[in-house]
Structure 1
Amino acid sequence: MTAHIETDVAIIGAGPAGLFAVFECGMLRMKCVVIDALEAIGGQCSALYPEKPIFDIPAHPRIAGADLIDQLEKQAQPFSPIYLLGRRVERLLEEDGDFILGTSQGDSVRAKAVILAAGAGAFGPNRPPLEELERYEASGAVRYMVSRREDFRGKRVVIAGGGDSAVDWALSLKEIAAKVTVVHRRPKFRAAPESAAQMDAAAAKGELELAIPYQLHGLKGDGSTLTHVTLATLKGEERDVEADHLLAFFGLSMELGPIAEWGLGMERSHVTVAPATCETSRPGIFAIGDVATYPGKLKLILQGFSEAAMAAHAIHPRVHPGEALHFEYSTSKGVPAHG
């Protein structure tokens, strides 16, 4: 469904920094639209390590990536952000001091300022070269991330990949799926050693199956409903595994895409910003999180949070010109009603 929206701030990227920017802008009475290429919010936290613990979030000695995103979404919720997911920003125009963004779905968003919180860029899954892949993607039989664990209850699931996502979801889904088969081309996994050891132990108990050394070779079904995934060794030996779903975790391909053509100061595929405001070389466009760079930059989620606050305060005069900003702590101010 195509949207035509006017807002105060357009945020590109729904990862942790982008979500916290909604809160910071909201505290300053600025409405936000959030655009992301993935189908769900959370960026890399949701797509790559939803169940992996993160240890360097203040006040959380340990928190899973998915739980962090849940909490950030709740924190942003009072400010009623509009999420446009599963679409990329492809066009940017300036008109009468505003920015007009066009997406791959034909949406139009008019905003007074833009915050780039695109991580390492708009990213999408590395897709296996299989025939009829798109048809099975369309039906949900082939997926590249898990948004609802319950979708796989009682299902036969083939998981392909050798990193943290593959191992984490194999350990999680074996508890509810009818069968889990993990496909990898070699015995050694790139996942956390403790997780890989847990998976080996589960395989030894028959709680899941390891198909090694195999690679994906084909899909069987009616073009919508999947029945089997065909695997093959490097020697050409093939076998069919019964499956309702294929989860392919081959990482994400990252690129700035059209953003690289916006005339922003670039340094090794990152956007250079002023450290005090996070404004780019193009007035009104700001960058925060992993996509932004400046001397002394640390690629930490907590640094992205700080940058979100700085960018929001720098944007305030563009949205509320002539209005003095009397900074108050949230402890005394509370969360304002947002109309």
Structure 2
Amino acid sequence: MASLLDKTKSALHWHDTPALVLAGHQIGAIGYGLMGLTWRKSPPTQEQAFTAMKEALSTGSNFWNGGEIYGNAKRNSLHLLQEYFEKHPEDTKKVVISIKGGSVYDGVKPDGSEENTRRSIKECIEVLGKAGKKLDIWESARVDPNTPIEITMRAAKEFVDAGTLGVISLSECSADTIRRAAKVVKIEAVEVEFSLWATEILENGVAEACKELEIPIVAYSPLGRGFLTGQIKSPDDLSDDDIRKSMPRFSPENFPKNLELVKEVQRIAEKKGVTPGQVGLSWILAKSGKGGLPTIIPIPGSTTTERVRENVGTIELSENDVKEIDSLLAGFEVRGDRYGGHLQSMCFGDTPPLEK
């Protein structure tokens, strides 16, 4: 098997080439998810986080995705980014920042009211502004089931019109919500979970709506929260405070069945001389803009430079390779929901109609 360094070098020419434009800036084909740098019981040190962030930028991953919900009111992605840009002011114009907001702190509870939408955007602008960084993209983290999406979008649009916010995105919403929001303001992107074990958007109309409206998809958890990398062999590999312990797909009864998918991906990876995670990311890139799908930007997260390099070390899959993987997925049933409890009910959310 080729060394990781060789694989990464062979792929960098692809990802150094800008794939598209978001918020008026060119971005690479693979983005960078910031969640793991702040949203865990024992987050990495500032030094380790900064090193990983700097490495992501150096490999062409200049689209960074964070969130107010990735931590708490006192420390989340915004504060980490503020500290990073204070130390590295030369990077403020090199990085495109998307922040998921609009939820109540200390819990994913969406509040799409005008008041909370304005509160969220103002805080994002103020914290990043302390380091001289403009908020490129504000993203509704989940949609409020009690507030029409039009109200949320109108409040967010005020900041775009005022020039203090770049653009607006959505996350985890239905095709109908996307279409309704797009009638109020230009939707720059839609963030959803998409990976070899999360392909719902291909069937529920979300990918179709985004293609129709020319909205790119931002694919979070493209490695199945680490499951598809083959690094997790059993539920016992997860600590008791690991958030994945609450996710049905990682439960003791579902884990062994889902592991069969990983074994098949490992088989393909060995044949290609790459890692299972690289196969998963390569498949997403092969799907991007093809077969009636919109552009898809995966945003794997990583806390080490080694993983950052691995995530950009993808390969170009042939048409037959993609068909083989698609056939594998068609014959495999992933066991368990993506989330447990109330979080699952907010997946691909709808909002009530706007009263006229």
More strand by share: 1
TM-score if structure 1 supplies the norm length?
A: 0.25
More helix by share: 2
Q: Which of the two has higher C-alpha Rg? A: 1
TM-score (structure 2 length as normaliser)? 0.24
